[in-house]
Amino acid sequence: MRASIALILLIAARGAAAHMDISVLTKFIVNLVGTNEAIIFSCSDKDLQLVASAFMKNDQFVNYVHMKQMYSLPFILGRNSHGRTSVIVNTRCNGAAGLLADASANKYFNKTYQWVFWGVGVEVKYLLPLELDYIGPNAQITYVNKTSNDYCLWDIHSKGRHLQSPLQLQLIATVTNYEGSSYLNIARDIFKLQSTEYRGQFNGITLRGASVIDQEDITTNEQIEAILSRSTKDSGVAAFIKYHYELVGLLRDRFNFSVNFRNSRGWAGRLGNTTFRLGLLGVVKRDEADIAASGAFNRLNRFAEFDTIHQSWKFEAAFIYRFTPDLDTHGKSGNFLAPFSKAVWFLILVSLIVFSVIWVLFEIINSKLSPTNDPNDQINNIPDTESQKCYALTIQSSWVESFLQSFAALCQQGLDPIPKDHSSRFVVITIFLFSLVIYNYYTSSVVGGLLSSSDKGPATVDEITSSPLTISFEDIGYYKVLFRESKSPAVARLIKTKLSSSRPLGKIPVFAHIEEAVPYIKSGGFAFHCEVVAAYPLIAELFDASEICDLREVSGLMEVELLNWILPKNSQYTELFKVAMCSARERGFVERLLRQRQIRKPTCQSLYTVYPVTLSGALAAFFVLICKSHLNKAVSELFLDFFLVGGIIMSILMLSIEIIYVYVVFKRGQQFSIVR
């Protein structure tokens, strides 16, 4: 290609002078564009002497490149420049064709450089053939030719040379040399000719588009447009796809172009172990699409591969499920023991034992210091040995009685009989006061827990994994990529626990559509992971007010982030589209589309929801009444459970011990009396 371009330029420029006119270039640099740096590509030593000297007199930093010598265009143009840089090319030199081809291939005809093609004696169609496809609306190219009296400076750009769009020329100015002086006649402001406002009319050109629809047999542009233009949710189409399609519509109306879309089944991926990208990102990176009706996730390596023109869609995917009391992972769904931790229950039990011991000790001390002289006392009327045994039985009974009375006081059941000594009464008052404080905390915690629903249910991905919920995911490609490429331990546990086993017929599959999943969410016991704004319209339609209040969302499996609207790196349309999207945001068009596409979560109309006490929560109370046996508890839990053995079993056990003890004691007393 370079050889053919060079041959055309050589034939077209045959017989033309090799040097450039210094006055024309000086007028352009100083009076038209006002750049601070100039890079000159020429094959004439005279240009080196005259042009460099004239530019330096006008405070220009000059870099001269002789086109007959070896040079690297990316090295010369890839360095930091002071503001705008002018690049002057003498197109009549033999190396001009290769230079222009390199500049087009490396996408240097952009807003960074003001190019000047000295094309006297060379027609534009030979200078910029179709093979130089990177000449678009962002090009800043000035073409210089000569008439009989003047030099003419022309602005050149195209709406997409890679799309066979013709070159468009507009006269910028003329330079007339008269009696040793040069005169600049400005026809149009060069910056207006190069502005978005002037170049914002694409005259109906058809750009290449790309999108992602995860459906079978979607190949034609008509099929893609029909799916993306529908306002309702379609299977295999992410919510942000249709939003970015609406943004493409804004640009189409603004610049007057059409789009021919091609479909990709996914966003990303690589072919085997190679660097060849698959999906929409591969299409855009290989410059096979000019615009994409899709967003892309933020990744560090993508900033060097794509241009970002807009960010507005907040991608938020989460598990959505309906809370039911059996899903309380914290054990607070009306649990009988939940208001207090095990440490508090243990401390209450220890306090009860301490109070009972102190009470018994006080009674023993009082009985020792103040012995009774009642002649009717039965203990004084029996033999000494039998009296001692009966007295020991009385002391043993006082221990049990004190414990039961302390427990009754703690339960606010009163005392009968009431102790007469002051020390025992003080202990009783202390127990009642302690019981009052404990009951206040207990009842307020129970009522508050039943009325509060903000912290109910699984709240993390790990809790979702360990819960009894059946989970499914929206049938869209990025979940399959996540499961295949993610190295997160949480994702690995989720796959192993919830997704590895096969599901019976009649149950919802692992990957399903939102229309199929929402009825399962409504019935409970099911969690569905999708982009939340896609599920809200159907939830608002099918759920009643109380069911909406039961909805829970658990994020964390995928990051919440703003998606990038991407173009190929150094695209011809990046600057124009970026400016247009900033204008659309300022005028409210973007916000209007977001309100239409990002449906808000249905509002809970109830002030609070009272959840019933579940069997698992109330089971502790029944176990205290009857019996309690948790064989799968940890050792630390068994220690507390030992003290919560059921009341009926404990009472029967205590009664049996008392009967056996009394029987044994009196039996021995009778045998002792017979022996005497």
Statement: residue 676 has pLDDT above 70: no
Concatenating the DSSP letter of every residue in 639-670 gives: HHHHTT--HHHHHHHHHHHHHHHHHHHHHHHH
Residue 306 lies in a domain: yes
Last residue of a domain, one of 316, 344, 370: 316
Higher pLDDT, 45 or 584: 584
Residue 369 lies in a domain: no
Q: Residue 668 half-sphere exposure, CB side, CA atoms within 13 Å?
A: 11
Mean pLDDT of 637-643: 43
pLDDT of residue 328: 62
**Residues 176 and 27 grouped into a single domain:** yes
Residue 667, judged by CB atoms within 10 A of its CB (0-12, 13-18, 19+), counts as: exposed
What's the one-letter identity of residue 50?
A: L
Structure tokens at 130: 């179709």
Q: Which residues pair with 183 in a beta bridge?
A: 176
Count of residues in the chain: 676
pLDDT of residue 670: 61
The rounded distance, in Å, linking the Cα atoms of 555 and 486 is 16
Residue 255 lies in a domain: yes
Residue 423 lies in a domain: no
Proportion of the chain above pLDDT 70, given as a percent: 80
Residue 443 lies in a domain: no
Mean pLDDT of 568-595: 94
**Residues 222 and 151 grouped into a single domain:** no
Higher pLDDT, 469 or 425: 469
Strand intervals (E) in 22-102: 37-42, 61-66, 85-90
Residue 592 confidence class, pLDDT cut points 50, 70, 90: very high
How many beta carbons lie within 10 A of that of residue 219, not counting itself?
A: 10
Proportion of the chain above pLDDT 90, given as a percent: 36
CB contact set of 149 (below 8 Å; sequence gap of 6+) = 176
Do 158 and 167 touch, CB atoms closer than 8 A? Answer: yes
Statement: residue 602 has pLDDT above 70: yes
- What range defines the domain where residue 243 resides? 206-316
**Residues 150 and 249 grouped into a single domain:** no
Buried b (16+ CB within 10 A) or exposed e, 17-56: eebbbbbbbbbbbbebbebebbbbbbbbeebbebbbebbe
Residue 68 confidence class, pLDDT cut points 50, 70, 90: confident
Note the pTM of the prediction, 2 decimals: 0.74
Mean pLDDT of 306-317: 93
pLDDT of residue 349: 81
pLDDT of residue 397: 46
pLDDT of residue 434: 81
pLDDT of residue 612: 60
Residue 109 confidence class, pLDDT cut points 50, 70, 90: very high
**pLDDT tens-digit map of 379-396:** 444 444 544 444 444 444
Number of domains in the chain: 3
**Residues 137 and 279 grouped into a single domain:** no
The rounded distance, in Å, linking the Cα atoms of 274 and 425 is 87
**Residues 151 and 38 grouped into a single domain:** yes
Statement: residue 121 has pLDDT above 50: yes
pLDDT of residue 399: 65
Statement: residue 7 has pLDDT above 60: no
pLDDT of residue 239: 92
**Residues 156 and 289 grouped into a single domain:** no
CATH label of the domain that carries residue 163: 3.40.50.2300
The rounded distance, in Å, linking the Cα atoms of 28 and 81 is 19
pLDDT of residue 637: 43
**Residues 189 and 211 grouped into a single domain:** no
pLDDT of residue 46: 80
Higher pLDDT, 275 or 589: 589
Residue 62 lies in a domain: yes
Q: Of 12-26, 72-86, 602-616, 623-637, which gets the smallest average pLDDT?
A: 623-637
Structure tokens at 4: 């053919």
Statement: residue 639 has pLDDT above 60: no
Do 644 and 629 touch, CB atoms closer than 8 A? Answer: no
Over the chain, what is the mean pLDDT?
Answer: 80
Look-up of token digits 């979940």 = 479
Mean pLDDT: which of 348-352, 504-508, 559-563 is highest? 559-563
pLDDT of residue 429: 80
**Residues 157 and 274 grouped into a single domain:** no
The rounded distance, in Å, linking the Cα atoms of 441 and 451 is 16
**Residues 168 and 64 grouped into a single domain:** yes
Residue 596 lies in a domain: no
Provide the phi-psi class of 5: left if phi over 0, else alpha when psi is between -120 and 50, else beta. alpha
**Residues 64 and 156 grouped into a single domain:** yes
Higher pLDDT, 50 or 156: 156
Last residue of a domain, one of 167, 194, 221: 194
pLDDT of residue 102: 93
**pLDDT tens-digit map of 203-224:** 999 999 999 998 888 999 999 9
Closest CA to 88 of 131, 138, 43: 43
Look-up of token digits 């003290």 = 643
**Residues 216 and 167 grouped into a single domain:** no
Mean pLDDT of 68-72: 88
Do 268 and 281 touch, CB atoms closer than 8 A? Answer: yes
Residue 557, judged by CB atoms within 10 A of its CB (0-12, 13-18, 19+), counts as: buried
Sheet holding 257-264, edge to edge: 257-264, 205-212, 291-292
pLDDT of residue 647: 56
Mean pLDDT of 331-355: 72
pLDDT of residue 390: 47
pLDDT of residue 377: 47
Mean pLDDT of 403-416: 74
**pLDDT tens-digit map of 523-537:** 988 999 999 999 999
Do 9 and 92 touch, CB atoms closer than 8 A? Answer: yes
Last residue of a domain, one of 281, 316, 351: 316
Residue 60 lies in a domain: yes
pLDDT of residue 618: 61
pLDDT of residue 617: 59
Mean pLDDT: which of 144-153, 164-173, 272-281, 317-326 is highest? 164-173
**Residues 66 and 151 grouped into a single domain:** yes
Statement: residue 567 has pLDDT above 60: yes
